Chain A
Amino acid sequence: MLKYFTKRVLGIIPTLLCVLLFLFSLIYLLPGDPASIMLGPRATPTMVEALNKSLGLDQPVYVRLGHYVWDILHGDLGESVWSKHSVVNLLMSALPYTIALTLSSMGLAAFFGIIMGVLAATHEKTLIDHLITVLSLIAVSIPDFVAACLLMLIFAVRLRFFPVLGGGEEGNIGDQIRHLILPVIALTLGWLGYIARLVRDTTLEILDMDYIKVIKSFGAPMSYIAFKYALKNAIIPVVATIGLGVGKLLGGAVFVELIFNRPGIGKVITDAVFARDLPVVQGGVLIAALLFILANLVADLSYAYFDPRIQYE
């Protein structure tokens, strides 16, 4: 396990370096002079020069790359071109909203997805199975931004069950949870359907195995077998797709946060993208990429832990 662990952890270093290099080169990908583009057409030459200086654009490339990496290693992501707030602070104040959103979606999807999947598998080819299959297929087919719009239309605008916009009053947990419900449902749907189908397929495969047949022949009831023996193995593929799920949910969070106007990372990045606030974009994308890489690493490691065969491949 230790060998596999070191191999996987060291394996992300080249990827991390390339991610940094890509983010650093973003500024050169912008067509034209970056400072004047960020400031817009009404910028005076002195403003452009000042921004060039504060972004370090007047220095040679290798010095800048060195500074960039050095600053990041010291937890400094620069400051916003417009508001002059430190990017780290901006992102840190937004991060809890996004983490609350994605984690609760992930938990809900995993919980209900596993139950639905096991139920469908143990009742194969009955009404329950067909119902769950159809429901999960529909859930998978609704893009999260469409789900968000529809949920908002039905439950917030028409029925007025939930508040329409915002992340809730700061410090008021109840209000924040009320603001969280619709976004979480919008984000959960797709992933829930995916997990339900995945768990159904693996559980079916496991229920067909010899050791389950042996337990069955001892007279154990089906529900006992499913939740005591089959579930353990059915969870493995769910764990393996956590990395994928975090990527998908982080992506979905961008749309959901925008639609419900929640102050999360996705909203910070999109706002910065439209304002051409490059330091914020770079910082936000870095954080998102880090979360994604980390989630993939955790998923890989726990997969290897649950299924030791992986380590020897």
Chain B
Amino acid sequence: MPKNKVLIEISHRWDSYKIKSRLQIKKITQVIKVIRREPRGLIGASIIGIILLCALFSPLIAPFDPNEQDIANRFSVPSSEHLLGTDYIGRDILSRLIYGARAAAIVSICSVGIAVMIGVPLGAIAAYNGGIVDYVVILIFDVIRSFPSVIMILVLAAIFGPSLLNIILILAFTSFPAYGRVARAQTLCMKEEESILAAKSLGATTGRILLHHITPNILSPIIVLAGMDLAVMIMWESALSFLGLGLQPPAASWGIMLKQGYTYIETAPLMIIWPAIVLIITMLGCSLFAEVLRIALNPKERLPNE
């Protein structure tokens, strides 16, 4: 084949690659469309939205300081002043729930972010290089996954001590193999694509290919996984705080509130009921959202009038 013909061929393949990445963007707008059409998606998205708003603007929304004590007014039932009542030292439960959203949001967003940042490059590099690198990375993933995650998190939390940063790092550590696996599987398919061959023959370095040509194309399943994981991480933050291995009192966290409610289970049932309801609604919102996301990305389940 003459030289200029080769170049033309390469540029053709280059174009097909560009069209592909445009398709990815189209896919995302399609997902948003489906979510807007499905009532479940709307409900889920609005629950998540409200929680994010509470997390972002908690000082503006909360009627009281979450740590302001009013001993004379402890265990009070819901009233016009304290909409959801007060806890065992007279703190306003509603305000504490609103500030708890902040702890949940920080922990879940940061830990999922870090897990993606570690897992995706590791998986992509493993799949792209193959051989011994691949074997070692898979072994690391397998070992981390061979512990039931609860027990792994528990032991690590006990070793490194409870603090916000430690919880985030531990949760990221136990969840990054999942992202690594997805990234690896996707990269394995992607690396056989002609667009990658084209980039390679134009002299792109491995790093450039991974960063500019593979990563953007494998992101969409990762986004779904991350979306579902946010709920899991919110649950974990509460669970660890409940055990006393997460945030420490007097911090406002749903898990801590539940734990304190558990202590007063005989006398003040409202202290358990409110945080439990908030946690369940949050999880429900995330499940609904994830369900619609799954439908939107699975063409087999596309709605009939799509």
**Does B195 sit at the interface, judged by CB under 8 A?**
no
Determine if A149 and B258 form an interchain contact, defined as CB atoms under 8 angstroms apart.
yes
Query: For residue B75, which residues in chain A have a CB less than 8 angstroms away from its CB?
Result: none
**Does B86 sit at the interface, judged by CB under 8 A?**
no
Determine if A281 and B279 form an interchain contact, defined as CB atoms under 8 angstroms apart.
no
Query: For residue B244, which residues in chain A have a CB less than 8 angstroms away from its CB?
Result: 274
Query: For residue B291, which residues in chain A have a CB less than 8 angstroms away from its CB?
Result: 137
Closest to B300 in A: A205
Determine if A143 and B235 form an interchain contact, defined as CB atoms under 8 angstroms apart.
yes
Query: For residue B150, which residues in chain A have a CB less than 8 angstroms away from its CB?
Result: 250-252, 254-255
Query: For residue B262, which residues in chain A have a CB less than 8 angstroms away from its CB?
Result: 149, 259
Determine if B158 and A15 form an interchain contact, defined as CB atoms under 8 angstroms apart.
no
Query: For residue B19, which residues in chain A have a CB less than 8 angstroms away from its CB?
Result: none
A90–B112 alpha-carbon span in the complex (Å) = 37
Determine if A14 and B272 form an interchain contact, defined as CB atoms under 8 angstroms apart.
no
Q: A interface, how many residues as a size bin? A: 35 or more
**Does A22 sit at the interface, judged by CB under 8 A?**
yes
Closest to B275 in A: A146
Smallest beta-carbon distance A237→chain B, Å: 15
- Contact A289 to B239, CB < 8 A, known contacts A138-B284, A141-B283: no
Query: For residue B155, which residues in chain A have a CB less than 8 angstroms away from its CB?
Result: 26, 269, 273, 281, 285
Which of A30, A150, A251 is within 8 Å of B148, CB to CB? A251
Query: For residue B143, which residues in chain A have a CB less than 8 angstroms away from its CB?
Result: 15, 18-19, 22
Interface segment, one of A59-67, A76-84, A151-159, A213-221: A151-159
A273–B291 alpha-carbon span in the complex (Å) = 37
- Contact A288 to B243, CB < 8 A, known contacts A143-B283, A153-B269: no
- Contact A29 to B287, CB < 8 A, known contacts A270-B243, A289-B147: no
**Does B38 sit at the interface, judged by CB under 8 A?**
no
Smallest beta-carbon distance A310→chain B, Å: 17
Determine if A18 and B139 form an interchain contact, defined as CB atoms under 8 angstroms apart.
yes
Which of A14, A152, A274 is within 8 Å of B265, CB to CB? A152
Interface-centre pick from B143, B146, B148, B284 (highest chain A CB count, 10 A)? B148
Query: For residue A240, which residues in chain B have a CB less than 8 angstroms away from its CB?
Result: none
**Does B149 sit at the interface, judged by CB under 8 A?**
yes
Query: For residue B284, which residues in chain A have a CB less than 8 angstroms away from its CB?
Result: 137-138, 141
Closest to B287 in A: A141
A248–B291 alpha-carbon span in the complex (Å) = 20
Smallest beta-carbon distance B98→chain A, Å: 19
Which of A258, A273, A285 is within 8 Å of B147, CB to CB? A285
Determine if B148 and A289 form an interchain contact, defined as CB atoms under 8 angstroms apart.
yes
Interface of A is mostly: helix
Query: For residue A281, which residues in chain B have a CB less than 8 angstroms away from its CB?
Result: 155, 158
Query: For residue B147, which residues in chain A have a CB less than 8 angstroms away from its CB?
Result: 19, 285, 288-289, 292
Within B194-242, the residues touching A (CB, 8 Å) are 235, 238-239, 242
Which of B139, B151, B160, B261 is within 8 Å of A251, CB to CB? B151
A15–B147 alpha-carbon span in the complex (Å) = 10
Query: For residue A254, which residues in chain B have a CB less than 8 angstroms away from its CB?
Result: 150-151, 154
Query: For residue A276, which residues in chain B have a CB less than 8 angstroms away from its CB?
Result: 158
Which of B158, B242, B266, B287 is within 8 Å of A157, CB to CB? B266
Determine if B148 and A247 form an interchain contact, defined as CB atoms under 8 angstroms apart.
yes
Determine if A153 and B158 form an interchain contact, defined as CB atoms under 8 angstroms apart.
no
Determine if B154 and A270 form an interchain contact, defined as CB atoms under 8 angstroms apart.
yes
Query: For residue A296, which residues in chain B have a CB less than 8 angstroms away from its CB?
Result: 146
A281–B279 alpha-carbon span in the complex (Å) = 30
Over the window 163-178 of chain A, the binary record of Cβ atoms lying under 8 Å from chain B Cβ atoms (1 yes, 0 no) is: 0000000000000000
**Does B126 sit at the interface, judged by CB under 8 A?**
no
Determine if B258 and A142 form an interchain contact, defined as CB atoms under 8 angstroms apart.
no
**Does B142 sit at the interface, judged by CB under 8 A?**
yes
Query: For residue A273, which residues in chain B have a CB less than 8 angstroms away from its CB?
Result: 154-155, 158, 245
**Does B83 sit at the interface, judged by CB under 8 A?**
no
Query: For residue A29, which residues in chain B have a CB less than 8 angstroms away from its CB?
Result: 159-160
Smallest beta-carbon distance B231→chain A, Å: 8
Query: For residue A269, which residues in chain B have a CB less than 8 angstroms away from its CB?
Result: 151, 154-155
**Does B61 sit at the interface, judged by CB under 8 A?**
no
Determine if B154 and A146 form an interchain contact, defined as CB atoms under 8 angstroms apart.
no
**Does A94 sit at the interface, judged by CB under 8 A?**
no
A14–B158 alpha-carbon span in the complex (Å) = 26
A153–B155 alpha-carbon span in the complex (Å) = 29
A143–B80 alpha-carbon span in the complex (Å) = 31
Over the window 153-186 of chain B, the binary record of Cβ atoms lying under 8 Å from chain A Cβ atoms (1 yes, 0 no) is: 0110011100000000000000000000000000
Smallest beta-carbon distance B293→chain A, Å: 14
Query: For residue B238, which residues in chain A have a CB less than 8 angstroms away from its CB?
Result: 143, 145-146
Return the 4 tightest CB-CB contacts between A and B, nearest first.
A251-B150, A141-B283, A273-B158, A18-B143
- Give residues in B with beta carbon < 8 Å to A: 139, 142-143, 146-152, 154-155, 158-160, 235, 238-239, 242-245, 258, 261-262, 265-266, 269, 272-273, 276, 279-280, 283-284, 286-288, 291
16 sample A-B contacts, Cβ–Cβ < 8 Å, listed by A number: A26-B159, A29-B160, A138-B284, A141-B287, A142-B283, A145-B238, A146-B276, A150-B272, A247-B148, A254-B151, A255-B239, A259-B262, A281-B158, A285-B152, A285-B155, A289-B151
* Further 13 A-B residue pairs, CB within 8 A, beyond A146-B238, A270-B154, A289-B151: A15-B139, A19-B147, A141-B280, A141-B284, A143-B279, A145-B258, A149-B276, A150-B273, A150-B276, A153-B265, A247-B149, A269-B155, A289-B147
